[in-house]
Amino acid sequence: MSRKVRVGIIGCGGIAEGKHMPSLAKLENVEMVAFCDIIKERAEKAAVNFGIKEAKIYEDYRELLKDETIEVVHVCTPNNSHCNISVASLEAGKHVMCEKPMAISSDEGKKMVEAAKRTGKKLTIGYQNRFRTDSQYLHKVCSNGDLGEIYYAKAHAIRRRAVPTWGVFLDEEKQGGGPLIDIGTHALDLTLWMMNNYKPQVVMGSTYHKLGKKKGAANAWGSWDPEKFQVEDSAFGFIKMENGATIVLESSWALNSLDEDEAKCTLCGTEGGSDMKEGLRINGEKYSKLYTEKVALDSDGVAFFSGSEESAADLEARLWIEAVINDTAPIVAPEQSLVVTEILEAIYQSAETGEPVYFKKSN
Ligand SMILES: NC(=O)c1ccc[n+]([C@@H]2O[C@H](COP(=O)([O-])OP(=O)(O)OC[C@H]3O[C@@H](n4cnc5c(N)ncnc54)[C@H](O)[C@@H]3O)[C@@H](O)[C@H]2O)c1
């Protein structure tokens, strides 16, 4: 692969610096040529650390999009700007990797999917947990039908006390919600992908603003300011799929629970089950005996799986850029992310009204 893909980064904060830019920097077929942030110093710093020598700095993403030599844009801004920036980027002829969650509403998500279809450009969402070694292995297990029909699943996104206190995570308008849209989105994406089931029928949800009101609370990133804590601190969903399968989604940034687990799923099928505790475990029954197998996830441990030295973030970036170069579909399809967005929205809606939210029957 001789050609280099010219990439522009929009939003040079935490996730751009922690995930996108370091992973893209490892790829020989990528050059980061433009950086945009409304805080100019962040774009400048990113350009120095990750850009080519002639990298350009922007404070307005619309100016960056005028550069016709840029083929790919990574959107790493707060949630409420994902839709506008992604649609504008697709319309400017760029392929788009947008951070999760896709958008703050299903209407916005639909606009993004439509823009990708209209322009013929690729759109993907930054669900890097699909690219972990355990997830990749479990996906093979599920695709192979080893668990049979998966009719019950749990999507886990529970932190005992880890409320993100930087940036705008607590701001309802900018983020569109709290832990449900922030980390529940990862767990649900992973669960639906394993089940290969994107047809919800009905959703019930509850959200809570309980611990967010506490002053001086213990927290991994320092006490939060209860005045600024506008979003929910916990949210739970009960999702019934058209084929009768049930998914329970648990999400929290602060919960009095020792059952902490994030971006994980438990799957229960007719032939076996799995959970992501102690790595990855598969359980089942053979000759009237129950078994639980712990899957060795290092490269030596699994015979038919090559294992991977790459981190989830590196694999996500590499496969995305390869999809662009080879003109193939990205692993995270925008239509799948739209279903995640619709379910999260339904949980919020049900929590507000106290009523179940029914989906239109698919064809
Ligand atoms: N994949 C993951 O696991 C993961 C983890 C953390 C954050 N995220 C997502 O990444 C996004 C950003 O989160 P973050 O933690 O990096 O936040 P952050 O606040 O650290 O960074 C966001 C950056 O965007 C800039 N910005 C805001 N509006 C802009 C605009 N219109 N044009 C250009 N720049 C703009 C801000 O100045 C800031 O530097 C969020 O959507 C968040 O959900 C994903």
Residue 64 alpha carbon to ligand 1 centre in Å: 17
Q: Which atom of ligand 1 is nearest to the CA of 82?
A: 41
Which of 10, 12, 15 to probe ligand 1 with, by most ligand atoms within 8 A of CB? Answer: 15
Residue 267: its pLDDT value, please?
Answer: 98
- Averaged over 323-328, what is the pLDDT? 98
| 3 phi and psi angles, rounded to 5 deg | -75, 150
Residue predicted with more confidence, 363 or 286: 286
Kindly compute the dihedral angle of the four CA atoms of residues 294, 298, 302, 303, in this order, to the nearest 10 degrees: -160
Residue 297: its pLDDT value, please?
Answer: 81
Listed in sequence order, the residues at least 6 apart from 187 whose beta carbon sits closer than 8 Å to its beta carbon are 155, 156, 157, 249, 250, 251, 262, 263, 264, 265
Instruction: Say whether pLDDT at 162 is over 80.
Output: yes
Architecture per CATH, 5-127+316-330: 3-Layer(aba) Sandwich (3.40)
Residue 300: its pLDDT value, please?
Answer: 57
Tokens of 31: 């050059």
Query: pLDDT tens for residues 2-22?
Result: 689 999 999 999 999 999 999
Work out the mean pLDDT of the chain and round it to a whole number.
Answer: 95
83 Cβ inside 6 Å of ligand 1: no
What is the rounded CA–CA span in Å between residue 353 and residue 193?
29
- Averaged over 222-244, what is the pLDDT? 97
Ligand 1 atom 4 nearest Cα: 15
Q: How many CA atoms lie within 13 A of 181 on its CB side?
A: 29
Residue predicted with more confidence, 283 or 362: 283
Q: Which atom of ligand 1 is nearest to the CA of 59?
A: 33
> Is 100 exposed, middle or buried (CB count within 10 Å of its CB: 0-12, 13-18, 19+)?
buried
- Averaged over 193-217, what is the pLDDT? 97
Q: Which atom of ligand 1 is nearest to the CA of 128?
A: 1
CA distances from 320 to 122, 154, 325 (A): 10, 28, 9
183 Cβ inside 6 Å of ligand 1: no
| 54 phi and psi angles, rounded to 5 deg | -90, 15
Which of 10, 38, 84, 311 to probe ligand 1 with, by most ligand atoms within 8 A of CB? Answer: 38
pLDDT band at 305 (very low <50, low <70, confident <90, very high): low
Query: pLDDT tens for residues 243-299?
Result: 999 999 999 999 999 999 999 999 999 999 999 999 999 999 999 999 999 998 865
pLDDT band at 363 (very low <50, low <70, confident <90, very high): confident
Ligand 1 atom 19 nearest Cα: 167
What is the rounded CA–CA span in Å between residue 89 and residue 76?
13
103 Cβ inside 6 Å of ligand 1: no
Of residues 239, 266, 244, 256, the one with CA closest to residue 154 = 266
Q: Which atom of ligand 1 is nearest to the CA of 168?
A: 19
Domain spans, the chain: 5-127+316-330, 130-310+340-358
Which stretch of DSSP H or E encloses residue 184? none
Ligand 1 atom 14 nearest Cα: 14
Residue 30: its pLDDT value, please?
Answer: 98
- Averaged over 28-55, what is the pLDDT? 98
Residue 304 alpha carbon to ligand 1 centre in Å: 38
Of residues 98, 103, 76, 151, the one with CA closest to residue 344 = 103
DSSP string, 74-85: EE-S-GGGHHHH
Residue 304: its pLDDT value, please?
Answer: 53
Of residues 149, 147, 154, the one with CA closest to residue 285 = 147
Of residues 62, 198, 74, the one with CA closest to residue 124 = 74
Residue 68: its pLDDT value, please?
Answer: 98
221 Cβ inside 6 Å of ligand 1: no
DSSP string, 310-358: S-HHHHHHHHHHHHHHHT---SS-HHHHHHHHHHHHHHHHHHHHSS-EE
What is the rounded CA–CA span in Å between residue 309 and residue 300?
11
What is the rounded CA–CA span in Å between residue 86 and residue 128?
18
Residue 169 alpha carbon to ligand 1 centre in Å: 9
77 Cβ inside 6 Å of ligand 1: yes
Same fold, 5-127+316-330 and 130-310+340-358: no
Q: Which atom of ligand 1 is nearest to the CA of 77?
A: 24
Residue 310: its pLDDT value, please?
Answer: 85
Residue 216 alpha carbon to ligand 1 centre in Å: 26
Please check whether the domain covering 130-310+340-358 is classified as CATH 3.30.360.10.
yes
Of residues 250, 153, 239, 251, the one with CA closest to residue 200 = 239
Q: What percent of the chain has pLDDT over 90?
A: 94
- Averaged over 206-216, what is the pLDDT? 96
Residue 224: its pLDDT value, please?
Answer: 96
What is the rounded CA–CA span in Å between residue 142 and residue 20?
28
Q: Which atom of ligand 1 is nearest to the CA of 10?
A: 33
What is the rounded CA–CA span in Å between residue 347 and residue 304?
39
- Averaged over 181-196, what is the pLDDT? 98
Q: Which atom of ligand 1 is nearest to the CA of 12?
A: 39
Query: pLDDT tens for residues 133-154?
Result: 999 999 999 999 999 999 999 9
Residue 137 alpha carbon to ligand 1 centre in Å: 30
Tokens of 189: 């994406």
Q: Is the Cβ–Cβ distance between 214 and 187 less than 8 Å?
A: no
Query: pLDDT tens for residues 62-106?
Result: 999 999 999 999 999 999 999 999 999 999 999 999 999 999 999
If DSSP codes are grouped into helix, strand and coil, which group holds residue 189? Answer: helix
Q: Is the Cβ–Cβ distance between 62 and 94 less than 8 Å?
A: no
Instruction: Say whether pLDDT at 56 is over 80.
Output: yes
Listed in sequence order, the residues at least 6 apart from 2 whose beta carbon sits closer than 8 Å to its beta carbon are none
pLDDT band at 307 (very low <50, low <70, confident <90, very high): low
- Averaged over 334-352, what is the pLDDT? 98
